[in-house]
Structure 1
Amino acid sequence: MSDATEGTGAVDVDTDYEVGQDNIQAQVGPFGLDIHNPVFLISGLSIVAFVLGTLMLPESATGLFSAMRNFVTGNFSWFFLLAGNIFVAFCIILIFTPLGSVRLGGAEATPDYSYPGWFAMLFAAGMGIGLMFYGVSEPLSHFSASFAEGAGSPDSWAPLAGAAGDAEAARSLAMASTIYHWGLHPWAMYAVVALALGLFSYNWGLPLSIRSAFYPIFGDRVWGWTGHIIDIVAVFATLFGLATSLGFGAEQASAGLNYLFGIPEGAETKVILIVAITGIATLSVLAGLDAGVKRASEINMVLAFLLLLFVLVVGPTGELVSGFLSSIGAYAREFPALSQPFGREDANFSQGWTAFYWAWWISWSPFVGMFIARVSRGRTVREFIISVLIIPSLVCVLWMSTFGGTAISQVVNDGFMGAAEANLPVQLFEMLSQLPLAGITSLIGIVLVIVFFVTSSDSGSLVIDTVTSGGKTDGPLPQRVFWCIFEGLVAIALLLGGGLAALQAMAVSTGFPFAALLLLMCVAIVLGLVKEWRAARA
């Protein structure tokens, strides 16, 4: 491995990877698929086998998925919690060290986007089906559990005791618990991957692929089977993380259509929704990044902002604004207890909520990290980490405080129990039913879920295609379509093979090995930043 040169940090990659790139046109296989990289063949065939096996043996798959999730969360929830804490600490430490002065793209690089444009894209990355699905249900679930007797016991979903019968204390603990899951921890995970991809792509001249992040540790072996295995794990994690989100989207869209129009809420409706929306996402992929993905993302942001603003204005505005600030204070106060990885007595919370969330965020990290890396050239490491941690976290806190706070207010102040007693996918619509223009806002909610579905599917397929083609951002179109279609098929297979439990099981199971890779990625980042910092001072 050669040293990074001053300014660009370019690395000599006269390896099998470069040879493969030179002969790429001769290695395009049947149906226009780029099969020169074994990552595509292995991961593609494995996913096809998984879909067929799950659809052919749904009952066996259901038992297997449950066993997988119970084993991983029951035995390794401490690992997920500890890893999450390490990622947050790692990012914060980088901010205050001299390494934070390293600039992505070299000392002379300038940002590709202005602050407003960059912040808007970080905001877009922070939005997703998860916010729609859990925006009402998670704060309300934690509130109900904390308010009930026995909160904090192993059989409770509440993480902290001391709020039984006290509505204000329960509200505080509920929002602190929710922000814990949607604040610094997930964005630290995304920041680690984005920083690694940006550093080694822009400063070292390596391909924009997960394997490149491990070049300081493994050297040229990342272009061989060591790198192939890393990318295959990343593909599985990303695909099942996306499938989890798509499954949640289908559940909520189906529940919303049933709530508004009485459309049956069975498996057939969910399958039809996934097929139809995957078809739209495929058309978006065919249209290209600017005409398809970008346009859908812009529609998404506008609708999400309007819905957020509407609930904030027509809901208990004063209470929501003060609740936003008090929730951040509660989060800071309860952070040590919530993030404790050992000796937990709240098994349902730490395993059922936190371990699943951390695995889900980790499985999403290649997807979100690559997006953030693409728009962050020219930023210093310090500027990058502060912005990636703070801006999206505040957006998520505002969303959860607004939607969850409104639902809690309806319970405490109005005595309305519709949302609290409804199934998770319906709780958003029950909350909106108590506000003006309920029919319109509920329809907008369904449209938002569908558009989130489309943007997650099409942009996710582009990221997976980049990984499976060795870092190329312009892989064959049939290959991108293949991944887009199979994201939908995996979501269908998991829904039919166990529903939400199956979705969560695969996110946890594939996120577990990738969590170990992220920890190793932190080591590679330090090695890379030290070399860049020394080169800049030479």
Structure 2
Amino acid sequence: MGTSLMTAQPIRSVRKSVFGVEIEAHPVVFPVSAFVVIAFVIATAAAPRRALIFFDYLQSKIAESFSWLYLASMTGFLLFAIYLCFSRFGNIRLGSDDERPEFSTVTWFAMLFSAGMGIGMLFFGVAEPMLHFVDPPNIRNGVVASAESLAAARGAMGITLFHWCLHPWALYSLVGVSLAYFSFRRGLPLSFRSVFYPILGKRIHGLLGDSIDILAVVATLFGLATSLGLGAKQINAGLSFVFGLPQSTTVQIILITCITTLAVGSLLSGLHVGVRRLSELNMLLAGSLLLFLFVAGPTVYLLGAVVDNAGAYAERLPHASFWTASYARSSKSQWLASWTVFYWGWWIAWSPFVGMFIARVSRGRTIREFITGVLLVPTAVAILWLTGFGNTAMHQEIYKALNADAPAATAFYDYSPQSYAVQQLDPQSGLPQSEDGEWLIGATAIGVASPQGVKMRQQASRLVTKSGNAVEYYRGVLVHAGTEIPYHPSVEERFDGRYKSEDTLLSLAGYLTEPVLTSSHRGRVDTTATAMFVMLGSYPFATITALAGIVCVILFFVTSSDSASLVADIIASGGSHNPTIGTRLFWGILEGVLASVLLLAGGLKALQTGSIAIGLPFCVLIIVMCVSLMKALRQETNTETPTA
């Protein structure tokens, strides 16, 4: 390693023993980060419906004003990552010149992928392609494919891969390479403040550096909360599908508590045991599930779809990378906010965790090796995974009419529609009806897993509760008419009975788009979270594969949680590579509490908003980080010629 261009100061941290547990923490970053997150948790738990109104407002405003920034930044990160890979800087090693990687390539990939986007790909792997298939977005040359057509199927896979392939991994590679370079090669603490040394100099050790690390810790926790929330919803959906367990926020919070406990156990075993072994086991199990679909499903169709989907992605990539819906209808702008902007915000909020984690396990690799591996291998796996799950689901939808006359070779496919209880909606108000048809039932909050039901009637153009109070919906929350004050129903106004419904044959697409009721007829099924299990139900060994899917989500949940706890603790301890157990426990527990409160306050809406909001300031920070990295690399190569 050549002459260092930076001077590392001792890590300014406090190390104490509290009740026999050793704790190491930065005196500013740790308490301020903890205070910010705990204050958010208390405020949201105290007024969940007001919080949901605020979440909806914040998400719409950010999407309206800053979607262009998310789109331009993420595309810029991809172009910059490709440039670094092929530039003269690619030979620089992330460590001393004679260092070699700490982990094997297979283990390295399993760890970064399990701790990266595993939960999300399981949650959206079936639902996202199907939803784009049913409602094609207008993002290619202004032409909209007909819903549920072959063109719509190809387009659905193209846009799904756009969200999950090169763009997010380019972001992760840049954050990871920056952290690894400044820490392992330049001797600075393994913390976000370090990557700004070429711009801020020794000021990274003061208030500016503390602020950067605080934002990184908070972003890590909110990004993780989104993944944990989605994971809890899908585990709940799987257990409901297999065992009839109710789908509700209460059950999901219990699941988060139980699995966070498992994650803490893995965390205590350390990086080389817990995270490593669980990551390898998870990749083996997930790979087996994917292989099952390719073997038991329409094999030839899926093999062809892998190639076709890669082409659809390459074809769509240039246009979608710059599509901001400026010339599209408002509905397509809403689509962009709900999908692409949400994903980009989620990935940016997730980047401190994934970037820090893959930096921690990537010491000794060159910049070219690092970026190539992080960009291409997960992208290839994403294409295989999303093809296996997405195209299998769409194949069921496209060819469901062939079931009765299927040739013997494919006779075991059960593509026939299934019977489900579908909620009856009042045509004027769009609200569900009670079983006796006497009442309309309005939820206290739309989109929450288990909201309170309120008895009401439609009178003229307004909704009136049983007690005669006029109400309306404002940003998805039931409020007093003409105000923004959430409506709290009295005991006699609350509805806890069965909904009016009709039994209907639904294909997978219908299942995702219709208001399907639980077996008790007392609540709706979370169809997005259940879609994967419904799809697996059309193949042999449905219960076994569903259980395998549940175990996969649990393992992804555990590896994500303990990895993010490690990352938050590394930053909050001032950059220690091996922080103490006590603070790891603290962050692990706090992550579970944050995910639970977000689910309680507003379900998926709150999870999405948390990611999009925290991703905004961090997006600007990452842009500056790229400038800082470039400055440092130029300084090094101008000082000496690095050797591989």
Deviation digits for residues 123-151 of structure 1 (CA, Å, limit 9, x no counterpart): 444551101100101111111112xxxx5
Contact persistence 2:11–2:575 (CA under 8 A) = no
Change (3 A) 1:239 1:211: same
Change (3 A) 1:288 1:117: closer
Residue of structure 1 in register with 2:199 after alignment: 217
Structure 1 residue corresponding to 2:47, chosen from 48, 57, 81: 57
Change (3 A) 1:291 1:378: closer
Change (3 A) 1:489 1:165: closer
Structure 1: distance between partners of 2:282 and 2:12:
39
Structure 2: distance between partners of 1:273 and 1:61:
23
Alignment of 1:60-71 (within 5 A): 60-71=50-61
Change (3 A) 1:49 1:121: closer
Alignment of 1:187-226 (within 5 A): 187-226=169-208
Which residues of structure 1 form unaligned runs of 5+? 1-5
Structure 1: distance between partners of 2:366 and 2:260:
38
Residue of structure 1 in register with 2:67 after alignment: 77
Alignment of 1:321-360 (within 5 A): 321-342=303-324, 343-345=326-328, 346-360=332-346
Deviation digits for residues 508-537 of structure 1 (CA, Å, limit 9, x no counterpart): 000111011111111011112112222332
Change (3 A) 1:289 1:116: closer
Residue of structure 1 in register with 2:380 after alignment: 394
Structure 1: distance between partners of 2:369 and 2:277:
28
Structure 2: distance between partners of 1:486 and 1:123:
23
Structure 2 residue corresponding to 1:101, chosen from 70, 91, 101: 91
Contact persistence 2:115–2:560 (CA under 8 A) = no
Structure 2: distance between partners of 1:168 and 1:115:
38
Structure 1 residue corresponding to 2:578, chosen from 459, 474, 485: 474
TM normalised by structure 1 equals 0.92
Higher mean alpha-carbon deviation, 517-526 vs 383-392, is at 383-392
Structure 2: distance between partners of 1:246 and 1:453:
6
Q: CA deviation at 1:167?
A: 2.0
Deviation digits for residues 146-166 of structure 1 (CA, Å, limit 9, x no counterpart): 2xxxx529xxxx996331157
Change (3 A) 1:190 1:44: same
Whether 1:500 aligns to 2:604 is yes
Whether 1:129 aligns to 2:115 is no
Structure 2: distance between partners of 1:112 and 1:159:
47
Contact persistence 2:11–2:189 (CA under 8 A) = no
What SS does structure 2 have at the residue aligned with 1:34?
Answer: strand
Deviation digits for residues 200-230 of structure 1 (CA, Å, limit 9, x no counterpart): 0111011111111111110111111111111
Structure 2 residue corresponding to 1:376, chosen from 353, 362, 379: 362
Alignment of 1:90-239 (within 5 A): 90-146=80-136, 152=138, 161-164=143-146, 167-239=149-221
Whether 1:45 aligns to 2:35 is yes
What is the number of equivalent residue pairs in this alignment?
519
Q: Quick one: which amino acid aligns to residue 410 of structure 1?
A: Q
Q: Quick one: which amino acid aligns to residue 271 of structure 1?
A: I
Structure 1: distance between partners of 2:321 and 2:555:
33
Residue of structure 1 in register with 2:12 after alignment: 20
The CA RMSD over aligned residues, in Å, is 2.1
Residue of structure 2 in register with 1:7 after alignment: 2
Structure 1 residue corresponding to 2:628, chosen from 518, 524, 527: 524
Structure 1: distance between partners of 2:206 and 2:141:
45
Structure 1: distance between partners of 2:64 and 2:188:
39
Contact persistence 2:193–2:213 (CA under 8 A) = yes
Structure 2 residue corresponding to 1:361, chosen from 341, 347, 358: 347
Which residues of structure 2 form unaligned runs of 5+? 402-414, 416-505, 513-526
Contact persistence 2:11–2:574 (CA under 8 A) = no
Structure 2: distance between partners of 1:160 and 1:445:
38
Structure 2: distance between partners of 1:273 and 1:120:
25
Q: CA deviation at 1:29?
A: 6.9
Change (3 A) 1:287 1:254: same
Structure 2: distance between partners of 1:152 and 1:13:
51
Structure 1: distance between partners of 2:255 and 2:228:
10
Residue of structure 2 in register with 1:240 after alignment: 222
Structure 1: distance between partners of 2:141 and 2:339:
10
Q: Quick one: which amino acid aligns to residue 8 of structure 2?
A: V
Q: CA deviation at 1:116?
A: 3.9
Higher CA-based Rg? 2
Structure 2: distance between partners of 1:191 and 1:531:
21
Q: CA deviation at 1:66?
A: 1.2
Q: Quick one: which amino acid aligns to residue 20 of structure 1?
A: R
Contact persistence 2:107–2:280 (CA under 8 A) = no
Structure 1 residue corresponding to 2:390, chosen from 378, 385, 404: 404
Residue of structure 2 in register with 1:418 after alignment: 507
Structure 1: distance between partners of 2:613 and 2:566:
23
Q: CA deviation at 1:233?
A: 0.8
Deviation digits for residues 20-64 of structure 1 (CA, Å, limit 9, x no counterpart): 35xx44x66787543442011001012111112211211111111
Residue of structure 2 in register with 1:3 after alignment: none
Contact persistence 2:133–2:148 (CA under 8 A) = no
Deviation digits for residues 319-374 of structure 1 (CA, Å, limit 9, x no counterpart): 11111111111111111221114425231332110111011011111111122212
Between the aligned residues of both structures, percent identity stands at 45
Change (3 A) 1:341 1:524: farther
Q: CA deviation at 1:295?
A: 2.5
Contact persistence 1:247–1:492 (CA under 8 A) = yes
Change (3 A) 1:435 1:339: same
Whether 1:453 aligns to 2:557 is yes
Change (3 A) 1:126 1:274: closer
Structure 2 residue corresponding to 1:300, chosen from 242, 267, 282: 282
Change (3 A) 1:106 1:127: same
What SS does structure 2 have at the residue aligned with 1:379?
Answer: coil
Deviation digits for residues 244-296 of structure 1 (CA, Å, limit 9, x no counterpart): 00000111111111111111112221111111111111222223223322222
Structure 2: distance between partners of 1:354 and 1:454:
26
Contact persistence 1:9–1:106 (CA under 8 A) = no
Structure 2: distance between partners of 1:288 and 1:270:
27
TM normalised by structure 2 equals 0.77
Contact persistence 1:249–1:450 (CA under 8 A) = yes
Whether 1:86 aligns to 2:79 is no
Higher mean alpha-carbon deviation, 32-41 vs 346-355, is at 32-41
Q: Quick one: which amino acid aligns to residue 351 of structure 2?
A: S
